[in-house]
Structure 1
Amino acid sequence: MAIMIVVVLVAFFDGDEETSASGTTFVVKRGNLPITVVAGGAAESLEPNHFKCEVKSRTKILEIVEEGYRVTKEDIENKKVLVELDPSELEDRIRDQETQYQQAKANYAKAEQDYEIQEEENESDIKTAERQVKFKGMDLQKYLGDVLANQLMAELAKRRAIEKAGEEAKDKAALAKEAERMAEEKKSAFEAAKAEQQRKVA
């Protein structure tokens, strides 16, 4: 009985060895087990940069580099244009401001000329009035009376009116000069805006 059991076990193990010997074998060795996980997602820049046009108007883009273009050091050295904007609207505004500036400048020159003419006329009228007052004073010494006194008061009133006219002409010249200053400021502002636009395009 014991002999039969041994024979059966030997036959059983001999059969397993033949079965395992006929399969695929692998060499086992120590190492890292790489694990690859495939998953979907969205990539986002760690330090994003946002670019926007600072020109306060609707601006047409004439030319722009293709999306994803990589700017190289050579592009920077050659001042490669990445975006070219339509400057026609800004140029029209500059021309309008230039026209207003020239008009203000012409108005100032005319006001200044009118002021000089008026000033000369006022000085002449004042001198004439002073001579007349002097003569009237001499007459007053000879002929005292209400009529002559009234004439003297009228001459003094005329002189005050002439002086007032001179002050008004001076005020007009000052206003014209202020208009020229404002026009100069507007011109400088638009020239600065144009230069800034050209700098951004470059």
Structure 2
Amino acid sequence: FSADRQGLVLGEGAGMVVLETYEHAMARGATILAEIAGAGLSGDASDIVAPTIEGPEAAMRFCLVDARLNPEDIDYINAHGTGTKANDQIETAAIKRVFGDHASRLSISSTKSMHAHCLGASGALELIACVMAIREGIVPPTANFRETDADCDLDITPNVARERKVRAAISNGFAFGGTNAVLAFKAV
């Protein structure tokens, strides 16, 4: 999200989570870290590489509806945040459309700034970041932020993690070809 960004860096990584029903976790006495509250999907298919505002906007809206959450319930967004001007500016505009006045109160970060774009593994890594933000009350930073971009004027948690109570979070994943997926997580 820094004005002087020069695009994404590919990385290698993996993340794994255990998903189970609430009832099963309670029966075995598990420590429940968070709840996957909902998901939203959209496909805009207008261009193989150029993002649209409408696709990410629709996925975030569908996710909030599925999770039975209002925009004001969200405290943190793990942005798709690839570090390209097109993606970051489109994602910022879509967040503003979905969250309205609440957008300025959100904590947003791109953890790809630290683990790079691990392609298929990015979703799992970012899910873990959201769950830990809820669990620990710490929003991860957007690393290497140096200069504000006028088109990305939201709170992107620059360079240093921040303590904040996170009751609910979403993780955005917007892929080439217009495939958009958003997951919502809640504290339990």
Whether the TM-score (by the shorter chain) exceeds 0.5 is: no
TM-score range relative to shorter protein: under 0.3
Q: TM-score, length-normalised on structure 1?
A: 0.17
Q: TM-score, length-normalised on structure 2?
A: 0.18
Q: Which protein is bigger by CA-based radius of gyration?
A: 1
**Structure whose residues are more often helix by fraction:** 1
**Structure whose residues are more often strand by fraction:** 2
